[in-house]
Structure 1
């Protein structure tokens, strides 16, 4: 199942995946729609034939150590940006354990390097820290981030991959 560019008609399917995968982190479809509109080159879907989507990626340039709060519209992509932010990589349970998530991470790393970002960053939720650590991301502990991370939950971690 290859990753391909997200299109506006994918948004209901993206929302359906988010509703299944991120029960404790709900976001309005407007958040997904805005990210796609603002930075389409960072949005992808994983199709599952013949009945729809199996996963999605949403990512965009942003400000380092300033992750957007959960379920908040951006208004604009950061300029200048100091990180390539992974808003979400979500896969349905039946689409996991086949390398698709790792392929998504590599796709985003290549994009960030090509665009000359100094790093990638994200907020890890749903006990995903080990997955991200397996891709060389590290947790960044910073008291100033606590307020932003609180919109997710007490276990959310801000993680960074430095690009050299």
Structure 2
């Protein structure tokens, strides 16, 4: 049975915390980070429901090109002149993986970026996911300038962009 993505609500934060703790134990973020992302860019925050249960989420927002927001840090506000739509985090519970759940929301993310007149969608690929993101049309544009910030994620983290 396919799942369905819907816009996130404040009432989803408990599910987000639960999913994040399971899927991203090496990249912990406070609940306040997720709540702020939802407040700042609700149009870029989604919940995946599968058989009536929240089993995935995505947080995204407008941001600056080649500028990676530090993990577990409040943004305060979005940039006045964003240059990219930034995929902050996507997480799927094991039961939601390998079911084709990611492609539809990523395609929707591209349309959000286009609607905001932003030329790119960007993200940091972690946990060896670079190949997946390349398959989705992203290219690795990591640079020496970003090296230190990328290392704060993991040794294999890559800054990737879809044009």
TM-score tier, shorter chain, comes to over 0.9
Query: In the alignment, which residue of structure 2 is the partner of 1:99?
Result: 100
- Provide the secondary structure at the position in 1 that maps to 2:35: helix
Query: In the alignment, which residue of structure 1 is the partner of 2:38?
Result: 36
Structure 1 CA distance for aligned equivalents of residues 142 and 110 of structure 2 = 22
Structure 2 CA distance for aligned equivalents of residues 77 and 12 of structure 1 = 24
Structure 1 CA distance for aligned equivalents of residues 135 and 17 of structure 2 = 27
Query: In the alignment, which residue of structure 1 is the partner of 2:89?
Result: 88
Q: CA deviation at 1:98?
A: 1.2
Structure 1 unaligned segments of length 5 or more: list them: none
User: Which runs of structure 1 show a deviation greater than 6 angstroms over 4 or more consecutive aligned residues?
Assistant: none
1:20 maps to which of 12, 19, 22? 22
Q: Which residues in structure 2 correspond to 1:66-85 (within 5 Å)?
A: 66-85=67-86
Cα-Cα RMSD: 0.9
Structure 2 CA distance for aligned equivalents of residues 68 and 76 of structure 1 = 12
Contact 1:21 1:92 in 2 (8 A): yes
Structure 1 CA distance for aligned equivalents of residues 60 and 136 of structure 2 = 17
In the alignment, is residue 47 of structure 1 matched against residue 76 of structure 2?
A: no
Contact 2:4 2:50 in 1 (8 A): no
Query: In the alignment, which residue of structure 2 is the partner of 1:11?
Result: 13
Structure 2 CA distance for aligned equivalents of residues 90 and 141 of structure 1 = 22
Normalised to the residue count of structure 2, the TM-score between the two structures is 0.95
Q: How many residues align?
A: 161
Normalised to the residue count of structure 1, the TM-score between the two structures is 0.95
Structure 1 CA distance for aligned equivalents of residues 37 and 105 of structure 2 = 17
